[in-house]
Chain A
Amino acid sequence: MTHWESVIGLEVHVQLQTQSKIFSGASTHYGADPNTQACAVDIALPGILPVMNRTAVQMAATFGLATGATINHRSVFARKNYFYPDLPKGYQISQYEIPIVSGGKINIGEGDTLKQIRITRAHLEEDAGKSLHDGLGEMSGIDLNRAGTPLLEVVSEPDMRSPAEAIAYLRKIHSLVRYLKICDGNMQEGSFRCDANISIRVEGDSELGIRTELKNINSFRFIERALNHEIQRQIDLIEDGGQVVQETRLYDPETDQTRAMRGKEEAHDYRYFPDPDLPPLVIEDAEVEYLRSSLPELPDARCDRFIDAYQLRRSDAQQLTADRGIADYFEETVREAGGNSKIAANWVTGDLMAALNRDSLPIEQSRVSPISLGRLICRINDQSISGTIAKDIFSDLWDNGGDVDQIIEARGLKQISDSAELEQVVEKILSKFSEQADQVRQGQGKVLGFLVGQVMKETGGKANPKAVNEILSRKLSP
């Protein structure tokens, strides 16, 4: 049986989170009424001219620096010409021959599976508007709010060999752009989009097979499914004696199918040429150095530091550092929790993330602050409350807010460690369950747990389990 290898390259469209558009002063805010955020430049009135948004340039350069790429001191904007109603000028301003960022790399995997994915280039361009078809009968509508939103198109080399690697790469880019605060990473709103180039070849071959391009696959889940589907389609095709045709295909998540959009013959001749309205984009060394010095700690470095400084397992550290907001949250929690990093890691990766996922909230909108979580951990640590009670308090905080200590006080949840008080409860339980007490005395140690449970139940979970254990063991020792 032939072993097939898939070869994948990705083009990621990163919407840069500038206040205004790449070539105009209109707002880039998402979700406004159609065409309320499109100025004369965006709707391409006669006589308009583009003016470069410097913040977009700096964001692009920052991405380049964070991936170890070359920042080209002089890059050129070109016009990509084609007709489409959501493309108001009849051309898209993009970078063609000389992009702002060349080269660069992203590491995926770890240990034996550590692999470097090369970034060919990253270039600046403007987004198009949107065509609207719903609720307009036979008409089509055009919303130009998105037209002119700055995009950074990140093009990888065909270095990925499986959908899993492609996803890992994509997650890394996603994490990075959020670290750099150049993109909100919101895939539902289209702030982070991906096209994939896929081919297959017999394992061990060095020649690349004929590739297809999968357009606009816009969630991590769909990307994996779409890639798997497309790879299988190509394998089936070749094993049945057919050939892959170079074409652009669209993935339909409803049917889990891809279908041909346009073939090579129908490919546009975009007639690229340098845009005469924009002088070459120049970025001086001083500006590059300033941006380099402003780079935040990047995910890989932060992950290593977390393992080191907080003594975390790599998997926990990776989970905690994948998102800058979560990493920040974690570190603030640890500070508040008096350095109790392992318990903090368990809480953040456990209850907190579960709650965020359940309510579909980003970390920035967490209903429990890192300060509250840190205090909660302190109370566990100083044995004021048990872990079980802490989970209950966390839910309370999440749903109703409030202060950890006040909740413990008001609801009387403070752990009972006072031995006199616990002795009484233990006596009561031993007389109630004398049969089980005898069993323990006769050496059936397992039954001890049952008795501890009964004490806990009697105290509403407030008894310090360790103390209960001690008292019971002493009283029942043969």
Chain B
Amino acid sequence: MPHRQSLSALNRMLATGGISSTEITTHFLDRIEQNQQLNAFVSVDREQTLAQAQQADHSRRNERNSNLKGLPVALKDIFCTQGLLTSCGSRILSNFVSPYDATVVERLDKDGFIVLGKTNMDEFAMGSSNESSYFGPVLNPWNTARVPGGSSGGSAAAVSARLAPAAIGTDTGGSIRQPAAFCGLTGLKPSYGRISRYGMVAYASSLDQAGPITQSAEDAALLLQTMAGFDSRDSTSLDTAVPDYLSALNTGLENVRLGIPKEFLDPSVDAEVLSAIETALEEFEKLGAKLVDIELPNSSAGIAAYYVIAPAEASSNLSKFDGVRYGHRTAEFSDLLDMYEKSRAEGFGDEVKRRILIGTYALSAGYYDAYYLKAQKVRRIIANDFSQAFKQCDLIAGPTTPSTAFTLGENLDDPVSMYLNDVFTVPVNLAGLPAISLPVGFDQSGLPIGLQLIGPYLKEANILSAAHSYQKVTDWHQRIPGDYE
């Protein structure tokens, strides 16, 4: 059955003619239809998607173009797609169809990837549980009373339940890695600037980065290879060569120094999570890695800095949603100001409003220095901590999250404890570094546990090869939730 195969395996099967793109795509479209209770997808266009699969099969047969993969993937609803809704999980964009494709979408299309559908997400990528979506919460396939994590919760749930062989998400403070950890998947956040942000609806421009949510590091490498690279339409994208991630996968772990920050193994982390991490680290040692104690002394300030910088940028980025040119506009209004106020009050959910208010406050005259500028200083200090640490080690390892997936509704009334979920992921975004979360076990209630590997700037290949080495000798990443086997 195609859904029990990784993206890479399906790619090999397609190449040898063992299966067609149409068969694979039909199978996944059927699974999406049969599993709507997860609420993982926001929009799916079966006919259009199948037509693309048939086209891919046709092209592969007739043009012998091995670049045209014909592999279906799910896409977070934050990427602009022509012809499909791009809602960003928000009412304010609930009627918005983009007239252009994001660069990520163009690149996927160019290599013959097929968009299976757009996945549910926290509204404007603001959240760690996928409960802030206008389209309702997504359920965790491992336990439907649990959250899948966020903000790329729909993407993670879709891959976890094998409704898609792989998905694309975005990560501003952990939005790929945390849901990957909660759903037993491999989630890669590339270095800032590695993948173009053009056509990706901005939450916090200096932190946002697209990346794959997959079953394995090998799958992640396959998708990163397609998506990475300079884009003249994004001034923050990097004009440097893209390495061959796939051929770097088998570099091995021999003599790789794995830095273990003591700050990431503190008592606030769930004991079962800590124990799984320790077991995994022993496995890395067996594979030849050397464990090194390191310090990231200021990483605990990451959350505070993040929750100033990200909302500040968001408060400005979300100003364009004013009901004037597109998106939700209130039905009745007395004047311009009334139209703005009502359209935005109706269009945005609570978490988005909260962050717009925080951000507006942080940028206001008289508070800018104390909040925004101070947060930027903290950001530089945190980035500097990482630079220092990478003098002693090649990669940094630790838990992705302090706990496994929490219960739906558990943190809804307590934004701060929700924010603390991102304590290990946020510093990585602040420093612009690449990091991956990979599954390393389960807790006693059967929920997946994720380990995070952080690399120096642009060293995605090293992270992927380390994760791949581990996945060659373990099978955590191949586990499928019972109901979806």
Contacts and interface: CB of A to CB of B under 8 A. Distances in A.
B197 interface: yes
A272 B86 CA distance: 29
Interface in A21-48: 40, 43-48
Interface stretch (A80-88, A150-158, A373-381, A450-458): A80-88
Interface of A: 40, 43-52, 79, 81, 83, 85, 88-91, 142, 269, 271-273, 276-279
Contacts of A44: 320, 325
B234 A83 contact: no
A44 B324 CA distance: 11
Contacts of B206: 276
A358 B15 CA distance: 77
Interface stretch (B107-115, B357-365, B404-412, B445-453): B357-365
A273 B368 contact: yes
Contacts of A79: 316
Contacts of A49: 197-198, 233-236
Contacts of A40: 99-100
Contacts of A81: 315-316, 319, 363
Nearest to A277: B205
A85 B99 contact: no
Contact of A85 (B100, B199, B324, B360): B324
A46 B235 contact: no
Contacts of A272: 363
Contacts of B321: 46
B122 to A, nearest CB: 16
Contacts of A52: 235
Contacts of A278: 235-236
B364 A91 contact: no
Contact of B316 (A43, A88, A273): A273
A243 to B, nearest CB: 24
Contacts of B322: 83, 85, 90
A46 to B, nearest CB: 4
Which of the listed residues A43, A49, A91, A278 has the most CB atoms from chain B within 10 Å of its own CB?
A49
A272 B96 CA distance: 29
Nearest to A50: B235
Contacts of A89: 319-320
Interface in B312-347: 312-313, 315-316, 318-322, 324-326, 336, 340
Contacts of B474: none
B326 A45 contact: yes
A83 B323 CA distance: 11
Given A40-B100, A51-B233, A91-B319, A273 B324 contact: no
Contact of B88 (A46, A51, A273, A276): A46
Nearest to A270: B365
Given A47-B102, A49-B197, A83-B340, 16 more contacts: A45-B99, A46-B88, A47-B198, A47-B199, A47-B201, A50-B235, A81-B315, A89-B319, A91-B316, A91-B319, A142-B324, A271-B315, A273-B313, A276-B206, A276-B313, A279-B235
Interface string B69-110: 000000000011000001010000100101110100000000
A277 B200 CA distance: 12
**Size category, B interface:** 35 or more
B158 interface: no
A90 B233 contact: no
A144 to B, nearest CB: 8
A346 B364 CA distance: 60
A465 to B, nearest CB: 71
Contacts of A88: 320, 324-325
The 5 A-B residue pairs with the shortest CB-CB distance, nearest first, are A90-B319, A276-B206, A271-B363, A276-B205, A47-B199
Nearest to B200: A47
A271 B368 CA distance: 8
A81 B362 CA distance: 13
B96 A46 contact: yes
30 contacts: A44-B320, A45-B100, A46-B96, A46-B98, A47-B79, A47-B80, A47-B202, A49-B234, A51-B232, A51-B235, A79-B316, A81-B316, A81-B363, A83-B340, A89-B319, A90-B319, A91-B319, A142-B324, A271-B315, A271-B363, A271-B364, A273-B312, A273-B313, A273-B368, A276-B205, A276-B206, A276-B236, A276-B313, A277-B202, A277-B236
Nearest to B312: A273
A91 to B, nearest CB: 5
Contacts of B316: 79, 81, 90-91, 271, 273
A88 B201 CA distance: 15
Nearest to B313: A276
Nearest to B204: A276
Nearest to A131: B336
A46 B201 contact: yes
Interface string B199-220: 1111011100000000000000
B372 interface: yes
A130 B399 CA distance: 53
B89 to A, nearest CB: 12
Contacts of B100: 40, 45
